[in-house]
Amino acid sequence: MSGIHLVWFKRDLRTEDHPPLLNATQQGRVLPLYIWETGLMQQPDFDAQHAAFIKESLQDLSQQLLALGAALQVAMGDIIDVLGRIHASMPIAALYSHEETGNLWTFARDRAVARWCRQAGIPWHQWRQDGVVRGLASRDHWSDHWTSFFTPAPLLPPLRFSAVMLPHSCALVSRVRVEGVDKPLRQKGGSLRAKKLLDSFLDHRGLPYRYAMSSPNSAPKHCSRLSVHLAYGSLSMRQLLHHFRLIEQHWKASPPAHPDREAWLKSLRSFESRLHWHCHFMQKLETQPNMETHNLHPALNGLERPFDAVVFDAFCRGETGYPFVDACIRRLLATGWINFRMRAMLVSFACNLLWLPWQPVAHFLARQFTDYEPGIHYPQVQMQAGTTGMNVLRVYNPIKQSQDQDIKGFFIRQWLPELAQIPNDYIHTPWLLASNLQQRYGVLLGETYPLPLVDYAQAARAAKEKIYALRKVDENRVITRHLLDKHGSRLNSKRRPRVKKVTAVESTAQLSLF
């Protein structure tokens, strides 16, 4: 009897547009498998909400597979141990999966799986599922790779196929308990929910996307909210782009006088550019996996940001004394999502104003983001913390961001009820309230709401001086050019980028991804 064809589901929890599953079903008996990896769940970027989202996605995936005549098999433990026990019970003919641009732990795990497969004589077939190119030697023509990959239509699910079940000796599990507390208002998992979000975004929610994505008041409704489904693969980007292009063609063919035509086309173009940036940043981590732990630009190692546990804990609780920052943190703690501009502001505030090292900040935020995607997360954290050495340094002014994005303080009052009675004139800067006004509006600074941890002007000036002092050294500029050549965008140019040009292009990524 020939061996089984094992499909290893990771961050690709769907049956449509799934080449590993489709190809395995054409070869023989299939074992569809998901493994709860205990080592992964112990990493500092993993949270109970991620496990809860995965569970919901697995429930949906299980229903999809049952419709195809197969039952999803779920195991728990170390993957090498699980694969070994399966192979001993029912020989594995081949392993099928998608490539993954994950954290350093999954990178090491995949290398271990590759070694095990070689030693066992088992071929491991892997497919891309996004615009990331493994083993890419140069960023030249990367956008051509992106376009060619997403040009074909998404693959349909396989027809009904012959599947096998795991023996009980292979750590079959029905329940998984993860330490920690789930977020009560986070997004829920599953392909069905992803498709409903996609439909509503392209039908009506996305019309004001281009200008609504910057404010935390309008972004939750008018951003696509598909990032978490792309992160866990309950929807593929090729599926998304397929539907996107159908809608784009519809609006291009609509009468020029239609009142929504131009607004839709502008928002759709803006959204598609974010899909390019999505893969652009993931490619950075694929090319340089140690971005999770090390400064991209080695010269920035001299910044010496000490870890202050008291300040860090205040930031993590949303008690910095800056209402807009604290409201963003409080929303994250409850919902697991905040729009991209606010994410950038939070990292900049923590690393450049509070002068905290970016690594613990990155791990804390990774645990808060339901849509945590390592390939976007770590390059962006370093970008906002100023440690790439090749991007425009943006030290966000939390007062100006508050006044620009939450003019009347609706967002602040929603998430900081202790400031609910403060009038608009002081909602962004409550520390300016005189003591008699504090009593009138029911807030006692330093007790019911904290005073600011730092003075923005002083902290921003100090951060810029320290960072630019290191970046201006001639030998460090040479390193910057090498980094730009390795990681820089090639947009609008088929030649290798010049420093100034790519810096300007990359700075546009400060907007929003979803």
CATH code: domain of residue 399: 1.10.579.10
Task: Give yes or no: residues 210 and 339 share one domain.
Answer: no
Band (pLDDT 50/70/90 cuts) for residue 491 is low
Q: Are 196 and 315 members of one domain?
A: no
Residues 502 and 393 in one domain: yes
> Helices 340-348 and 374-385 meet at what angle, rounded to 10?
50
- The pLDDT assigned to 490 comes to 66
Residue 164 in tokens = 């096998």
Q: Domains in the chain: how many in total?
A: 3
Q: Which of 325, 18, 356 is nearest to 155 (CA)?
A: 18
Domain end point (choices 221, 248, 282): 282
Residues 496, 413 within the same domain? yes
Work out the angle at residue 428's Cα, subtended by the Cα atoms of residues 422 and 434, and round it to the nearest 5 degrees. Answer: 55
Count of all residues that appear for the chain in the document? 514
Residue 235 near residue 229 (C-beta atoms within 8 A): yes
Q: Does 148 map to a domain? A: no
pLDDT of residue 511: 35
Residue 301 forms part of a structural domain: yes
Tell me, yes or no, whether 348 and 466 share the same domain.
yes
Q: Are residues 243 and 120 in the same domain?
A: no
Distance from C-alpha of 72 to C-alpha of 62, rounded to nearest angstrom: 5
**Is there a contact between 406 and 218 (Cβ–Cβ < 8 Å)?**
no
For the residues 296-312, what does the mean pLDDT come to? 90
Count CB neighbours of 38 within 10 A: 12
Question: Read out DSSP for 91-109?
Answer: -EEEEEEE-----HHHHHH
Q: Give the CA angle between residues 64, 229, 376 to the nearest 5°.
A: 145
Residue 141 forms part of a structural domain: no
Beta strands at 30-37 and 92-98: parallel, antiparallel or unpaired = unpaired
**452: DSSP letter:** P
Mean per-residue pLDDT of the chain: 91
Give dist(CA 9, CA 58) in Å, integer: 10
- The reply to whether 472 and 414 lie within a common domain is yes
Which distant-in-sequence residues (6+ apart) come within 8 Å of 423 by Cβ? 441
HSE value, Cβ hemisphere, 13 Å, CA-based, for 65: 29
Q: Note down the domain range covering 91.
A: 4-127
> What pLDDT shows up at residue 507?
35
Position 492 scores a pLDDT of 52
Same domain, yes or no: 298 and 338? yes
Over residues 256-270, mean pLDDT: 96
Distances (CA, A) of 405 to 118, 219, 328, 514: 54, 11, 12, 17
In a domain, 161, yes or no: no
Residue 343, number of CB atoms within 10 A of its CB: 23
pLDDT at residue 508, rounded to an integer? 34
Q: How many CB atoms lie within 10 A of CB 133?
A: 18
Is the pLDDT assigned to residue 341 strictly greater than 90?
A: yes
User: Tens of pLDDT along 227-252?
Assistant: 999 999 999 999 999 999 999 999 99
Cα 238 to chain centroid distance, Å, stands at 17
* Neighbouring residues of 130: CB distance < 8 A, sequence distance ≥ 6: 149, 230, 236, 237, 278, 279, 282
**How distant, in Å, are the alpha carbons of 57, 282, 299 from that of 289?**
27, 10, 18
- Residue 479 is encoded by which pair of tokens? 């390193």
Residue 355 near residue 463 (C-beta atoms within 8 A): yes
Q: Nearest to residue 173, comparing CAs of 70, 64, 72?
A: 72
CATH code at position 232: 1.25.40.80
Report whether pLDDT(318) > 50: yes
Is residue 408 pLDDT above 70, yes or no? yes
Return the pLDDT at 173.
73
Closest CA to 20 of 147, 129, 112: 129
Whether the per-residue pLDDT at 505 is higher than 60: the answer is: no
User: Residue 489's pLDDT is what?
Assistant: 74
> Is 195 in the same domain as 103?
no
Looking at per-residue pLDDT, the higher value among 482 and 143 belongs to: 143
For residue 162, the SS3 value is: coil
The domain boundary, picked from 248, 282, 316, lies at: 282
Looking at 107, 127, 147, which one is the last position of a domain? Answer: 127
Residue 504 gets which letter from DSSP?
Answer: H
Cα dihedral sign, 135-140-141-142: positive
301 and 266 within one domain: no
Cβ atoms of 452 and 320 within 8 Å: the answer is: yes
C-alpha to C-alpha distances, 221 to 176, 345, 417, nearest whole angstrom:
32, 20, 22
pLDDT of residue 174: 63
Task: Give yes or no: residues 255 and 297 share one domain.
Answer: no
pLDDT digits (tens, 9 = 90+) for 134-190: 998 888 889 999 999 999 999 999 999 999 988 776 666 767 777 889 999 999 999
d(CA 252, CA 385): 40
> Residue 84 belongs to a domain with what CATH number?
3.40.50.620
- For residue 378, CA distances in Å to 38, 286, 305, 419, 503 come to 23, 11, 17, 33, 18
Phi, psi of 449 (to 5 degrees): -150, 135
Residue at 150 is within a domain? no
User: pLDDT (tens digit, 9 = 90+) per residue, 34-49?
Assistant: 999 999 999 999 999 9
Count of other CB atoms within 10 angstroms of residue 27: 16
Residues 232 and 373 occupy one common structural domain = no
* Contact status, residue 126 vs residue 97, Cβ threshold 8 Å: yes
- Tell me what the mean pLDDT of segment 287-297 comes to: 92
139: three-class secondary structure by DSSP: coil
